[in-house]
Amino acid sequence: MGLRDLTAAGQIAAIRAGETSSAELVEAHLAAIAADDVDAFLAVDAEGARARAREIDAMPERPPLAGVPIGIKDALSVRDVVTTSGSRMLEGFRPVYTATCVARLEAAGAVVVGKTNMDEFAMGSSTENSAFKNTLNPWDHGRVPGGSSGGSAAAVAERQVPWSLGSDTGGSIRQPAALCGIVGMKPTYGAISRYGLIAFASSLDQVGPFARSVEDAALLLRHTVGRDPMDSTSLDWPGEISTPTATDLSGMRVGVVDELMGEGIEPGVRAAVDAALGTVEELGGTVVPVSLPSALSGLATYYVLAPAECSANLARFDGVRYGPVAPAANLLDQYETTRGDLFGPEVKRRIMLGTFALASGYYDQYYGRAQRVRTLMVREFADAFEKVDLLVSPTSPTVAFPLGDRTADPYAMYMADVCTIPVSLAGLPAISIPCGLSDGLPVGLQLAGPAFSENALLGAAHALEGALAFDTRPPGLVT
Ligand code: GLN
């Protein structure tokens, strides 16, 4: 087994045991990125990473994360490293500060090796909306890695980094984790500071980890959660994120969401999820059917609220404050030409949709009504968690789809998040773990819990991970 096959926890242990160094690990992963055939990264900071690794190797006492490399979604600002959010609107933009979550990881001893590809401004489910390039699925290069954090997911599956950060507004961590056969978690809304995350829809955006083990996801979470004075929606984390050790589910009531197990779910996905439910029972859990009637209104609700918020958030990109500017005869022309030329079609579609939904006269009919459905959803989840400890469903209704398959059909693309969006609207934590294969492609199982139930969720995910014994190595990958 090579260095790159170790999990992050394994790499930390190897450094501590004197079997390797941060410098050696960074070099091994940089070489893998250079030989990349899935196009996961948009920018690589090889020199910065090498310098930081040397610094950490020279420390008399190693920080907790010991100099292990990490990839960061390009939606997160890293000082002096080009950060584009996958958009020409920010081509060449170098932030003047680092996102709090990244700064916390750096302080804990993680080494940032680069920025990963993503759908433009995190809008999409396949990473094909990136203005720069497509990222390929490590399991099948003719297929998408999912999105919007597709680069972060592919980089971890391909062992170019042991772990990475992504952001999830409606599913952008969980869905690509499912499609790439790895672990991805969206924590409770407010758990991780959004300061330095380029905003898409602020009432939904959350940062979270990608990893090849539940233990690594917990470790990354431990070093990122907690209140940040720079983000007023961030929360004091109650207690600590502990290392998950559970090996069974005895006494756990596991609800299966009826509405997310039927129509639209591919038979192969359904079969893998059913098999995982059998494992839940073998581990001592009780499987209970649960109904969340509003779950199927999730997509419609999200596609009013998220565009409404994005139309306000993206107003700041006008060619004056950030990034490139289109030449024009006067200021109005300059705004129009810059936004017209530099935003991609999906981003423009959402800005127009959001502007329309917020227009006076339509506001109550669309935005107001969507907010009411969101409240209903929060209540339905609260009722469900009176009866069960956690809720499970497929993470994505299908396995990874072929590149180009859905680019002409926004609705087909939006469907990719039908199972993840309700949890996002309710602000709850959820984790996706790989639970099996369908036609040789990974299937993800989503586990969701009440707010602040991260430790319980990670514990249950850890027990299941042990029993399912999914091999995260894509076929043919040479390390
Ligand atoms: N795919 C969804 C969208 O396009 C979710 C994206 C996300 O979570 N950032 O909006």
CATH number at residue 46: 3.90.1300.10
Annotated active-site residue 22? The verdict is no
Cα 204 to ligand 1 centre (Å):
10
**Ligand 1 site, residue 166, Cβ cutoff 6 A:** no
Positive or negative, the CA dihedral 104, 109, 122, 80 is positive
pLDDT for position 1: 74
| Distance in angstroms (rounded) separating the CA atoms of residues 374 and 425 | 6
Cα 25 to ligand 1 centre (Å):
33
- What's the distance, Cα to Cα, between the start and end of the chain in Å? 8
**Ligand 1 site, residue 338, Cβ cutoff 6 A:** no
Atom number in ligand 1 closest to CA 201: 9
- Which pair of tokens denotes residue 245? 């050790």
Which of 148, 193, 432, 453 does the annotation list as catalytic?
Answer: 148
Q: How many CB atoms lie within 10 A of CB 397?
A: 19
For residue 25, tell me if it sits in a domain.
yes
- Which pair of tokens denotes residue 307? 């565009």
For residue 398, tell me if it sits in a domain.
no
pLDDT for position 479: 86
Q: Are 369 and 349 in contact (CB under 8 A)?
A: no
pLDDT for position 133: 98
Cα 8 to ligand 1 centre (Å):
27
Q: Are 406 and 454 in contact (CB under 8 A)?
A: no
**Ligand 1 site, residue 417, Cβ cutoff 6 A:** yes
For residue 204, tell me if it sits in a domain.
yes
For residue 365, tell me if it sits in a domain.
no
pLDDT for position 361: 87
CA atoms lying within 13 Å on the CB side of residue 296: 11
**Ligand 1 site, residue 122, Cβ cutoff 6 A:** yes
Report which of 116, 113, 102, 105 is spatially closest to residue 31, judged by C-alpha positions.
113
Tell me which of 116, 172, 185, 420 to substitute to probe ligand 1's pocket, judged by most ligand atoms within 8 Å of the beta carbon. 172
**Ligand 1 site, residue 135, Cβ cutoff 6 A:** no
Which of 73, 311, 393, 396 does the annotation list as catalytic?
Answer: 73
Can you say how many angstroms the Cα of residue 72 is from the centroid of all Cα atoms in its chain? Answer: 11
198: domain range? 3-246
**Ligand 1 site, residue 124, Cβ cutoff 6 A:** yes
DSSP state at residue 81: B
For residue 474, tell me if it sits in a domain.
no
Helix (H, G, I), strand (E, B) or coil at 249: coil
Kindly compute the dihedral angle of the four CA atoms of residues 60, 62, 67, 70, in this order, to the nearest 10 degrees: -150
- In the chain, the number of structural domains is 1
Residue entry with tokens 């959350």: 206
pLDDT for position 478: 86
| Distance in angstroms (rounded) separating the CA atoms of residues 8 and 27 | 15
Instruction: Give the start-end residues of each E strand in 85-217.
Output: 111-116, 163-168, 183-186, 206-211
For residue 195, tell me if it sits in a domain.
yes
Going by C-beta distance under 8 Å and a sequence separation of 6 or more, which residues neighbour residue 57? 21, 22, 23, 67
Positive or negative, the CA dihedral 111, 117, 123, 124 is negative
For residue 141, tell me if it sits in a domain.
yes
Q: Mark the ranges of the chain whose per-residue pLDDT is less than 50.
A: none
> Atom 5 (ligand 1): residue with closest C-alpha?
170
Annotated active-site residue 203? The verdict is no
Rounded to two decimals, what is the model's pTM? 0.98
Atom number in ligand 1 closest to CA 200: 9
Cα 76 to ligand 1 centre (Å):
16
For residue 308, tell me if it sits in a domain.
no
Strand partners, 442: 437
Report which of 105, 115, 104 is spatially closest to residue 33, judged by C-alpha positions.
115
Atom number in ligand 1 closest to CA 122: 9
Annotated active-site residue 294? The verdict is no
Cα 169 to ligand 1 centre (Å):
6
Which of 85, 164, 172, 424 does the annotation list as catalytic?
Answer: 172
| Distance in angstroms (rounded) separating the CA atoms of residues 435 and 270 | 11
Report which of 391, 475, 437 is spatially closest to residue 275, judged by C-alpha positions.
437
**Ligand 1 site, residue 114, Cβ cutoff 6 A:** no
